[in-house]
């Protein structure tokens, strides 16, 4: 029971981020803002940032342990795939494998990579 109580607070950030991502992807296309000429870049950038933060929150769940970087990345990409599938049921939206393979994947990877190098740099001091 003690172990469960110590794990629950660490689950809060990833669960919160997954709920936020799910809420955004549940919105029909007519309800989404249009950023004119910047629409593609803003929305794809949001994918990268969102899944980068999700991967970082998974790493937080694993107590920032180095050996879990690949698992944090994999969990973010897997959630991305399930969310794209969910999006295929939302009116006016569609599932895009490019979102998973390019934007979500690279967002998660780049944030974890930046965290890794930032951590290494600070450990040397």
* Residues 46-95: tens digit of each pLDDT: 999 999 999 999 999 999 999 999 999 999 999 999 999 999 999 999 99
Smallest Cα–Cα separation from 72: which of 119, 24, 100, 105?
A: 105
The 3-state DSSP class for residue 35 equals coil
Count Cβ atoms below 10 Å from residue 55 Cβ, excluding itself. Answer: 31
Q: What is the pTM of this model?
A: 0.92
Confidence band for 20, pLDDT divided at 50, 70 and 90:
very high
Residues 54 and 124: their CA atoms lie apart, in Å, by 27
Give residues with Cβ within 8 angstroms of 84, minimum separation 6.
95, 96, 97, 99, 100
Q: How far apart are CA 72 and CA 113, in angstroms?
A: 11
| 21-47 mean pLDDT | 94
Q: How confident is the model at residue 4 (pLDDT cuts 50, 70, 90)?
A: low
Under the banding of pLDDT at 50, 70 and 90, the label for residue 124 is confident
């Amino acid at each position: 029971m003690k172990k469960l109580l110590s794990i629950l607070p660490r689950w809060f950030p990833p669960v919160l981020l997954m709920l936020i991502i799910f809420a955004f992807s549940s919105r029909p296309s007519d309800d989404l803002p249009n950023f004119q000429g910047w629409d593609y870049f803003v929305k794809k950038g949001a994918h990268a940032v969102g899944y980068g933060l999700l991967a970082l929150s998974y790493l937080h769940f694993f107590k920032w342990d180095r050996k879990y970087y690949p698992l944090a990345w994999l969990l973010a990409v897997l959630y991305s795939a399930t969310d794209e599938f969910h999006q295929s049921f939302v009116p006016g939206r569609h599932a895009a494998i490019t979102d998973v393979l390019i934007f979500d994947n690279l967002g998660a990877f780049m944030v974890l990579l930046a965290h890794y190098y930032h951590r290494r740099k600070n450990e040397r001091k």
